[in-house]
Amino acid sequence: MQQKQLRALMIGAHPDDCEIKTGGLAAKYVAQGHAVKFVCATNGDAGHHLMGGGPLAQRRREETQRVAEVAGIEYEVLDNHDGRLEADLATREQFIRLIRAFRPDLVFTHRTKDYHPDHRRTGILVQDASYLIRVPNICPFVPHLSETPIILYMQDSFLKPAPFSPDVVVAIDDVVETKARMLHCHESQMYEWLPYDGGYLDQVPEGDAERLSWLRERYLRRDGAVAERFRPHLTARYGEERGQAIQCMEAFEVSEYGRSLPETEIDRYFPR
C-alpha cells in the first residue's frame, strides 16, 4: 500500500534558518513524494553588513526562490522586519492563516530558548497558534483545522533553562549534496554576512564551485558534530552498525503544544 503523502511545514525566523536546520529532512521528504513548504517569519532585511532594507529583502527573497527550485519545495517569505519580529495578535493571526492554508501533518520551528529574539518569537507564535488553528471563530475566513499537527522543534545547542532533547533523529548522509546546494543559494548569508559576523570572511573562496565545496565541508562538520552529540539516538533508531556509520544528521524535539508522536509512529512520519 502506498504511503499517504505527508505535508511538512517548516517555519523559521529568517531566510536560511529552515535550510540549516531541516534542509536534509526536506530533501528526503521531497524524494519520497511528500509536500514541503518553508516559511520565513521575517524578510531578512537587516541581515547584512553592507546593504539592508528593501534591496536586501528583495535579494534574500530571490535567494529563497532559487532554493525552492533546487529542492522542489514551496517557499514563502513574510514581510515582517528582520530583528523586529513581535509575537503580537496581528502576527499570530498571520501564522494561524498560513498554517491553516497549508494544512500540514507536521510543523517544525525554533525552540523558544534561543539567542535570537526573532527565533524565540517565531517559536512563541507557533505555540500561540497551535490551539487557535482549530477554533472556527478565530480568523473565520480561512477554514479551521480539525486537529493540531505534530509540532517539532529544530535542534539547537542552548542549555539553559533546558537543553534540546531529541525525540527524532534523521540520517542525512544521502542528501548532503542537496542540502549544500540549498544553502549555496543564500549567497548573501553563506559567503558574506555570516562569515563577516563570524570573523572568517577571509576564508571564503572566490569561485562558485570552490565556494560550494567549502560550504559543503563546513556543514558536513556541523551536521557531523550533531551526529556525534546524539550518537546513542542514532544507534537506537538505525541499529548499532548503521548508527555508528552515519556521518551527518538532523534532530527534532516533539512539542507538547502539538499532536503526540508515539515512538511506534516515528517511521511513518520520518524517512530513514
pLDDT mean across residues, the chain: 97
d(CA 101, CA 95): 10
The position carrying cell 527565533 is 119
Give percent of the chain with pLDDT exceeding 70: 99
Residue 74 maps to a domain = yes
Confidence of residue 222 (pLDDT cuts 50, 70, 90): very high
**Is residue 224 a part of any domain in this protein?**
no
- Judged against a pLDDT cut of 90, whether residue 2 lies above it is answered with no
Q: pLDDT (tens digit, 9 = 90+) per residue, 146-159?
A: 999 999 999 999 99
Distance, in Å, from the CA atom of 103 to the CA atom of 97, rounded to the nearest integer, reads 10
75: β partners: 38
In a domain, 228, yes or no: no
In a domain, residue 135? The reply is: yes
CA dist 248 to 29, 38, 244, 266, Å? 17, 21, 11, 19
Contact (CB, 8 A) for 196 and 202: no
Please state whether beta strands 249-254 and 168-171 pair in parallel, antiparallel, or not at all (unpaired). Answer: antiparallel
Mean pLDDT, range 118-141, rounded to an integer = 98
Examine the pLDDT at 239 and tell me if it is beyond 60. yes
Q: State the DSSP code for 256.
A: T
The pLDDT tens digits for 105-127 are 999 999 999 999 999 999 999 99
Angle, in degrees to the nearest 10, between helices 17-31 and 53-71: 20
pTM: predicted TM-score of the whole model, two decimal places: 0.97
Predicted confidence at residue 1, as pLDDT, reads 37
Q: pLDDT tens across 172-190, in order?
A: 999 999 999 999 999 999 9
- The reported pLDDT for the residue numbered 242 is 97
Whether residue 240 lies inside any domain: the answer is no
DSSP 192: I
50-77 average pLDDT score: 98
Is position 155 within any domain?
Answer: yes
Q: What is the pLDDT of residues 79-111, one digit of tens each?
A: 999 999 999 999 999 999 999 999 999 999 999
Q: What is the CATH classification number for the domain harbouring 106?
A: 3.40.50.10320
| Exposure b/e, 76-114, CB count within 10 A at least 16 = b | bbeebebeebebeeebbbbbbbbbbebebbbbbbbbbbb
Give 152's DSSP letter: E
Which residues, in sequence order, are CB contacts of 68 under 8 Å at separation 6+?
A: 38, 74, 75
Largest CA distance in the chain: 54
Residue at 2 is within a domain: no
Residue 179 lies in a domain: no
- How distant is the alpha carbon of residue 159 from its chain centre? 20
User: What is the predicted pLDDT for the residue at 3?
Assistant: 73
Q: Please count the structural domains in the chain.
A: 1
Mean per-residue pLDDT, 217-242 = 97
Using one digit for the tens of pLDDT, what is the confidence trace for 21-61? Answer: 999 999 999 999 999 999 999 999 999 999 999 999 999 99
User: What residue numbers bound the domain in which 167 lies?
Assistant: 7-172+252-269
Mean pLDDT computed over 160-176: 97
